[in-house]
Each structure stands twice: as C-alpha cells, then as structure tokens.
Amino acid sequence: MKTALFVLLGAFALFHIANLIRCASRSASVVRPTGMQVLIGFVTNFFDTLGIGNFAPTTVAYRWLRIVPDELIPGTMNVGHTLPVIAMAFIFIGVVEVETVTLLTMIGAAVLGSWLGAGVVTTMPRRAIQVGMGIALIAAAGLFTMAQFEAFPVGGKALGLGTGELVFAAVGIFVFGALMTIGVGLYAPCMILVALLGMNPLAAFPIMMGACAFLMPVASARFIRSDKHGVRPSLGLTLGGLPAVFLAAFLIVSLPLTVVRWFVIAVALISGVGMLRAGGAMMSRVLPGGLAALAVVLLAAKRWIAESWVAPQSSIDNTALQQAEEHRIAGDVADVYGAIYIASAVLVFLAVALLAWQRLRRSKT
C-alpha cells in the first residue's frame, strides 16, 4: 500500500513540475531567483519540516522585504512550497513507521475535508473559529507541558489506532482539512490530535505532510494557469526549500521522543498565539479571560488530576512497605499540586501582562 502511495505522490510531483516548465516557457528571459528569495525558501521550509508551518513566516518576509505584491503572495507560496512539501511527504512516509490503514485513512480524510468541507466552513465566522482553535491549542500545550513533568497522563508510543479511535481521528482531521480553506493550519491540530489519541507524536508528520502533498499541486495549478504568482520568488522557495527539508527531516527523526514532545508543545503555542492574533479584535476580549479561566479550572480540578494520575501501585500487606508507599503517593501528589500551582500562576501572569499591554497600546493611540 505504501508503494502505491509513493507512486501517487510521484505522479503529483511530475504534474507540478510539468506546470512549472510550461510556466517558465512563457517567460522571455531566464528566470533566476535572488539570494534572498532562496534564503527565504530555506528558512521557511526548514521550520515547516519541523511542523511549525511555512505560510505565515513567508508572508511576513515578503511583506517586510516587499518582494511580492500582496495579491500574489498566496499563489507564490502555493507554487513555491509544493515540491518541498512533496519531498517532506516522501521522507516521513518512508522513514516514520505508521500503521498503513491509519496513515491512509487520516491522509484521505484530510484531503476530503479540504475538498468537500470548503463550502461549509467558508460560510462560518472565520475569526470566531481562529480564536476558538487558538485557545484550544494553547490549552493543549498546557496539558502536554504538565505531561512532560508527569503531572498529567497524555501521549504514548502507538503507531496505529483501533477502529473506534480511527473513526474519531478521521472525523477530527476531516474537520481540520476543511478549516485549512479559511487559513487555520493543519499541522498543530493534527499533532495534538495524534498525541491525545496515544500515538507517537512523530506519527503526525507523515499524515500531515502527506495530506498537504496531495492538496498543494492542485491549488498551485490554478495559480499558474491564472498567472497569479511571482515566478522568481516561487522558484526561490523551491530551490531553497528542498535542501532545507532533508536537513530538518534528519534532525527531527533523530531526536528522542521527549524532545519531539517539546516540539509539539512549541508548535501548539506558536500556532495558538498566531490564530489568536489573526482573530483580531476578539483577542483583546477573549484571551485574558480565557487564560484566567484556565488557571481557575486547573486549581479547581487539582485534586481530581492528582487522584487520576497518582495511584497505589499495588495492594501491600506489610506495614513498613505500606507506609513507604503512602509516603511516595504523598510526594507525587505534592509534585502534581506544585506543577498545577506553577502553571496557574504563569497563566494569571500572562493574562495580567496582556491586559496591561493592551491598555498601554490604547493609551498611545
């Protein structure tokens, strides 16, 4: 089955290359990207391979350096990033072990969500979705941070899902695929979903890269036909992006599982804050209250969290051993409480700091 997937990926790559050749043949002169355009491709695709995404940093770079007119940025990014993303899919599908049924089902669900769900999600309030997803990603990052300190049971090492979990995952990633059409990225939600279902976080990489590899060539063909992209900048993204993909992929697959989970936390935080910023005015009303509310929930649920996570290892008859076990449990509960207190304090501090920053901005304007 993986062989068929590789053949299909190769066909999509050839389809995109043929479109690029036809586009270049229409140019009267040789198309050569500048060094800066190639550098942007290298940097953005390096971080994209790590799961952080490339559209947002590419947009920032293009606008800051005034390389591409705003109306050509979407097409330039789609055309330029397509081949690096296909390379990511080839690498991660080949290197990261994921159960074939799980892999194909989740890639197919994301692609179908993007194709079939676009008409539904485009009628929904975009900012409300971005704010909701942003808060959810930041909350998930908080849970994963607690899990890293063994204060909350999250994550696992599974490489596949059972029938019920797979159906749930397919529905979730179908929705994420549909939300891609309004600018809500697939990477961070996919990584969180995979980890929450008990899979190895690395399993998200072939799933999300594979889905994007099948979506981007089709979108790019439309931009190429309508001439709605910058030819030289898009070529710079491709030429700079391909070597960056191989370098970053080698880095991510060689990291220990604990470090990969920290990457998931970082990606969730970066994506969550980005979505809240994209939510615009709603951020100033929702985020401080949301952070404070999350802190209250953590404090209110601290006993339940501790009792769910810390439990006796076995029934012990020996009195001395029983006392030692009770001492261990009391220490573990104290550790969980300490982690919750620290997390709550950080959340409250962030809420207060954000309110102060917003007030300062309003006073200056």
- Residues 189 and 80: their CA atoms lie apart, in Å, by 24
Looking at residue 42, what is its pLDDT?
93
Looking at residue 224, what is its pLDDT?
83
H/E stretch holding 150 reads: none
Structure tokens at 213: 């590899």
Is the Cβ–Cβ distance between 195 and 188 less than 8 Å? no
pLDDT in tens, 293-351: 666 666 666 666 566 555 554 444 556 556 666 666 666 666 666 666 776 777 677 77
- Residues 320 and 322: their CA atoms lie apart, in Å, by 5
- Residues 23 and 226: their CA atoms lie apart, in Å, by 11
Looking at residue 243, what is its pLDDT?
92
Per-position b or e across 322-354, b if 16+ CB within 10 A of its CB: eeebeeebeebbebbbebbeebbeebbebbeeb
Looking at residue 281, what is its pLDDT?
46
Angle separating helix axes 163-179 and 204-225, nearest 10 degrees:
30
Q: Does 180 have pLDDT greater than 50? A: yes
Looking at residue 316, what is its pLDDT?
47
Give the position of tokens 């401080």: 288
Mean pLDDT of 147-172: 73
Sorting pLDDT into bands at 50, 70 and 90, what band is 87?
very high
Hey, which residues does 353 pair with through a beta bridge? none
Looking at residue 39, what is its pLDDT?
92
pLDDT in tens, 4-28: 888 888 999 999 888 888 877 776 5
Give the position of tokens 């769900």: 117
- Residues 235 and 20: their CA atoms lie apart, in Å, by 9
On whether the pTM is more than 0.75, the answer is: no
Q: Does 145 have pLDDT greater than 80? A: no
Mean pLDDT of 92-121: 80
Looking at residue 181, what is its pLDDT?
60
Q: Does 64 have pLDDT greater than 60? A: yes
Q: Does 88 have pLDDT greater than 60? A: yes
